[in-house]
């Protein structure tokens, strides 16, 4: 099948498929005489794996590891588990950081709606250095 068909079957955009190829996540397929890529059902499976991993937020480096492990004869479940567990921790940490942001933000936005104060609570929150007390919850972002 050609790249458009592969894209349709997997839900991965054509440009992204080519991008995955440059990143070594998808093996370079055979080409027709005119240079067009020709894929097999095995590529569909691999690309679906890629997509699912992407949807679960694995970074491409992690996906690469997972693919390597899944490809190896007799999957090393421990190694796979380690990659996934590490990513789960990362997701947890991102959630915690976002929730900390959310609390501060929600408080300011709500105060704004309540209209009980003279000065804009959002601007105050951002301007006030005392707010830095919240800083502990809002550790380095990313």
Partner DNA sequence: GCTTGTCTCTATAGTAACTATAGGATGCAG
Partner DNA sequence: CTGCATCCTATAGTTACTATAGAGACAAGC
How many whole angstroms separate alpha carbon 53 and alpha carbon 50?
5
Output the DSSP codes for 72-135.
SSS--HHHHHHHHHHHHHHHHHHHHHHHHHHHHHHHHHHHHHHT-SSS-HHHHHHH-GGGGGGG
Residue numbers 1-40 binding its own copies by CB under 8 A: none
Q: Which does 72 bind (CB under 5 to 8 A by kind): DNA, its own copies, none?
A: none
Compute and round to an integer the Cα radius of gyration of the chain. Answer: 23
Asked if 81 interacts with DNA (CB under 7 A), we say no
Residue numbers 112-141 binding DNA by CB under 7 A: 141
How many whole angstroms separate alpha carbon 137 and alpha carbon 100?
6
Q: Would you tell me which residues interact with its own copies (CB under 8 A)?
A: 45, 48-49, 52-57, 66, 69-70, 75, 77, 80-81, 83-85, 87-88, 91-92, 94-95, 98-99, 101-102, 104-106, 108-109, 112-113, 119-120, 122-123, 125-129, 131-132, 135, 138, 141
Q: Would you tell me which residues interact with DNA (CB under 7 A)?
A: 2-5, 7, 13-16, 18-19, 32-37, 54, 59-61, 141
């Amino acid at each position: 099948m050609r790249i458009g068909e592969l894209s349709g079957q997997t839900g991965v955009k054509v440009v992204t498929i080519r991008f995955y190829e440059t990143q070594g996540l998808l093996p370079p397929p055979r080409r027709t005489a005119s240079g067009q890529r020709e894929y097999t059902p095995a590529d569909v499976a691999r690309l679906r794996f890629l997509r699912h991993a992407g949807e679960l937020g694995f970074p491409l480096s992690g996906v690469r590891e997972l693919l390597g492990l899944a490809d190896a004869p007799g999957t090393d479940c421990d190694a796979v588990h380690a990659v996934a567990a590490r990513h789960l921790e990362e997701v947890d940490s991102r959630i915690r950081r976002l929730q900390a942001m959310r609390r501060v933000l929600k408080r300011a936005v709500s105060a704004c709606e309540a209209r009980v104060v003279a000065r804009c609570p959002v601007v105050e929150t951002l301007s006030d250095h005392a707010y830095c007390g919240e800083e502990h919850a809002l550790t380095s972002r990313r």
